[in-house]
Copies of this chain bind each other. A is one copy, B any other.
Amino acid sequence: MLVIGESINSSRKSVRTAVEERDAEFIQNLAKKQVDGGAGMLDINVGTRVSNEPEDMEWLVNIVQEVVDLPLCIDSPNPVALERGLKLHKNGRPLVNSTTAEESRLKSVLPIVKEYKCMVVGLTMTEAGIPHSAEDRCKAAGKIIEAATKEGIAIEDIYIDPLVMPVSTDVKCGLLVIETLKSVKSSFPGIKTVMGLSNISFGLPNRKLINRTFLPMVIGYLDSAIMDAGDIKIMATLKACATILGEDDYCMEYITAYREGRLDV
């Protein structure tokens, strides 16, 4: 599973301050910590600084690429910020995060995805908002997939996000995500999936426990997750998942991780 490091997000106060003060070292340390933890891609999100988003995105992409050679997930609802980030992107294929099933978003984002030959995240929401059923979220996914493939984007390059909401605000949120993932995976062969894992635990104590419990519940339907690769316990859980799912010949990766002290000891 592709781990997309989640730490560089201006909804975190320390990141917002670092972006405002152009504190490159702070951001670069966050980026390096995600890489050291095992991230395969880094999410870059400055959505809370709306007025400066394109400039902030440029700055972040540049300074992160000074210290990290992973591809980036350029995370913004703003096509201008997306394009400014993509123009500077250097390492591998970037992931554009995101479009929705809204006509206006599809029309503005998909041509950019096509032009920069990148991959794209499709959020399962429409002009009417976020659907309340797995069936309707799956329909929204279908609309995105139809529009993207029509644009010439390969189905393997589309990552559907079932939209994880906090279980503290609605106890049905977790089940809804699981049902949506199952439904999307069975309805659209070849499609990939992604989600912002830690949204599930917002508002609860010991959020990391909820996050690392949610991961094994959905991993069978998940190709990637935006998550904290700096959290040694969830990364240990991920290693255990791979071993249980038969992806670790002779359990050697698990045993090696144990010897290196990388499992939750």
Contacts and interface: CB of A to CB of B under 8 A. Distances in A.
Interface stretch (A8-16, A113-121, A240-248): A240-248
Given A171-B246, A200-B244, A178 B220 contact: yes
A200 to B, nearest CB: 7
A9 to B, nearest CB: 22
Interface in A168-220: 168, 171-175, 178, 200, 204-206, 209-210, 213-217, 219-220
Given A171-B246, A254-B204, A241 B264 contact: no
A246 B206 contact: no
Given A171-B246, A264-B206, A264-B209, A217 B216 contact: yes
A219 B206 CA distance: 21
A258 B205 CA distance: 7
Given A258-B206, A264-B206, A265-B206, A174 B246 contact: yes
Assign chain A's interface to a size class.
35 or more
Interface string A217-254: 10110000000000000001100110111111111001
B246 A204 contact: no
A255 interface: yes
Contacts of A210: 240, 243-244, 254
A263 interface: yes
Interface of A: 167-168, 171-175, 178, 200, 204-206, 209-210, 213-217, 219-220, 236-237, 240-241, 243-251, 254-255, 258, 263-265
